[in-house]
Chain A
Amino acid sequence: MNGSARGLRLALRRNPLVQLTLARLREFAREPEAVFWVFVFPVLLTLALGIAFRDPDPATGERYIEFLLPGLVGLNIMGSGMWGIGFPVVQARRQHLLKRFRTTPMRRADFLAAYGLSRLLFLVAEVIALFGFGWLFFGVAVRGSWLALAVVCLAGSLGFQGLGLLVAARPRSVEVVSGWMNFVMLPMWLLSGTFYDWHRFPAWLHPAIRALPLTALNDALRAVANHGAGLSAVLPETLLLLAWGAVSFALAVRLFRWT
């Protein structure tokens, strides 16, 4: 029993994917600023907006916080997916750590998968923190299935990780990658209906807005959380998110600069 436990420990120690993932988790957990922006800030934002808009709309009887919360989850998945990949990749490139890794037999796939895996672990915590907070403080319930919610979050995270990796594929400085990150995310902040319904924009803009990954994520999260939609109802959005992820990931791997 003791022997097999030690055997497992050693196997985990010698597994590059496990070690790379652990390194990501440790780096994140030991960075107080990152923990703040990913966990504390969204909760504070929810708290502030939830208090400001706590009363139901007299016309529809709906509360703004119910509409807002899924949007904030979507926004958070976008931010943490993109920054969580983009920032550390560029940092490692700038410090020549990527180059150093290239001199070892480390597989590219392990390296990239470790980023994805560590993000997914955080994703669970982020989503639970936000919905849990909304439920505890404002009584916002998730009406649809948790499975559908999990699948949508997963697809969203993978989509934005792909996009984050693409943006981070070449820059050598944190300043440059920050600029590109904001350039990519800003239109979605404005257009994708996080804080207000995107249908307010003129109709000719709708196809473009609908194609944005954050729009798909927000719409799918609202459908599940607010309207109790099942997995099949949000399949188009889920597939769109996965497509964003797959295309940008494929491009990123082709463009990726190790030095």
Chain B
Amino acid sequence: METRAHEGQGPAIEARGLVKRYPGVLAVAGVDLRVRPGECLGLLGPNGAGKTTTVEMLEGLLRPDAGEVRLFGVPWGAGKDRHLRERIGVQLQESRFPEKLKVIELVRLFRSFYREGRDEEEVLELVGLLGKRDARSGNLSGGQRQRLSLACALVGDPRALFLDEPTTGLDPQARRRTWEIVEAFRAEGGAVLLTTHSMEEAARLCDRVAIMDRGRILAEGSPGELVEALGADRVVLLEAEGPVEAADLADLPSVRRVTRRGEGFLLAVGEIAPFLPALLERFAARGARLRRLAIHQPTLEDVFLELTGRSLRDDGAEVARRAAREAAR
């Protein structure tokens, strides 16, 4: 087909200046992103960061208040929406299937919507559900339902795949299997956009990661680049018992940055060897005790923490902080 010849060149998914407002909330505040064929971009952020709203605009489900989305160079709403839908596969995080329908019936139903696509049983085999072919969807486990959803997204033989938290709630084995499917899809030139709050998943699957919070992309790059940009060889998490302030830690050798973290401190540290003895000395001098000390190699989690001041998983932290601010007034 003519369009296939163009595919290698332009981005499969492209968004510019996306904005979405809801009453009283700026859900997405100007997002730009591009995914090329054969590439996987991960949107990483806590709940409420605007990931799902962004993805729904990319999928043509929501109309942005400002900005533009193009898939394979074609914008939504230009009279070619059906053509675009033929070429994308979407897995929604919260969608449920009619419980009384069987696995094969559902995959066949989705297959019937596409002019061209893959064989239903072949797709079931791919996601490891062929053995559950005749089971009703209501009798599947959570993980099996996720894979059924993935099968329905793949059965139209898409060129771009949108996955909203595809492995949330999966056991490790099913998780790995999903990753392999996504990797195989990419290897064949498919573009993938996935949202996740699993660092492991982002690091494993994504060529590039966009870290999102409060409707904005705060940083974007390969997982390696993002971690490197932290400028730390090691990340040190410590809690003190006694009079130790951030300023007491900032001037220790090799320390690049100090952030307060709950009851303790988070330090980005260069070389660890000169740092440790100096730290212990400083504590001894202040008469403080080291209650907790953890040293690890920096990960995407640390990048996220550094950028947003909160952890990916604890959605409660923001609420607690806001409550504390209110109380302080």
Contacts and interface: CB of A to CB of B under 8 A. Distances in A.
A19 B112 contact: yes
A86 to B, nearest CB: 16
User: Which of A22, A92, A105, A107 lies at the interface centre, i.e. has the most chain B CB atoms within 10 A of its CB?
Assistant: A105
Interface residues of B, number: 29
B233 interface: no
Contacts, number: 76
Interface in A1-58: 13-16, 18-20, 22-23, 26-27, 30-31
Given A16-B112, A23-B101, A102 B156 contact: no
Interface stretch (B29-37, B103-111, B173-181): B103-111
B98 interface: yes
A103 interface: yes
A100 interface: yes
Contact of B113 (A16, A22, A31): A16
B25 interface: no
B90 A105 contact: no
B92 A96 contact: yes
B108 A95 contact: no
Contacts of B92: 96, 99-100, 103
Contacts of B234: none
Contact residues on A (Cβ < 8 Å of other chain), bracket:
20 to 34
B109 A19 contact: yes
Contact of A19 (B108, B136, B162): B108
B90 A100 contact: yes
A27 B113 contact: no
A96 B96 contact: yes
Contacts of B109: 19-20, 22-23
B68 interface: no
B98 A23 contact: yes
Nearest to A12: B112
Interface string B80-92: 0010011010101
A104 B97 contact: no
A114 to B, nearest CB: 10
Given A23-B105, A96-B95, A99-B92, A104 B100 contact: no
A18 B61 CA distance: 25
Nearest to A97: B95
Given A19-B112, A103-B59, A95 B101 contact: no
Interface of A: 13-16, 18-20, 22-23, 26-27, 30-31, 92, 95-97, 99-107, 258-259
13 contacts: A13-B111, A14-B112, A16-B112, A16-B113, A22-B109, A23-B105, A26-B105, A95-B95, A95-B96, A96-B92, A97-B96, A99-B95, A105-B113
User: Which A-B residue pairs are the 9 nearest by beta carbons?
Assistant: A103-B90, A96-B95, A95-B96, A30-B100, A19-B112, A105-B85, A106-B113, A104-B113, A100-B95
Given A103-B60, A104-B156, 12 more contacts: A13-B112, A14-B112, A19-B109, A23-B101, A95-B97, A97-B96, A97-B97, A97-B98, A103-B61, A103-B162, A104-B85, A105-B114
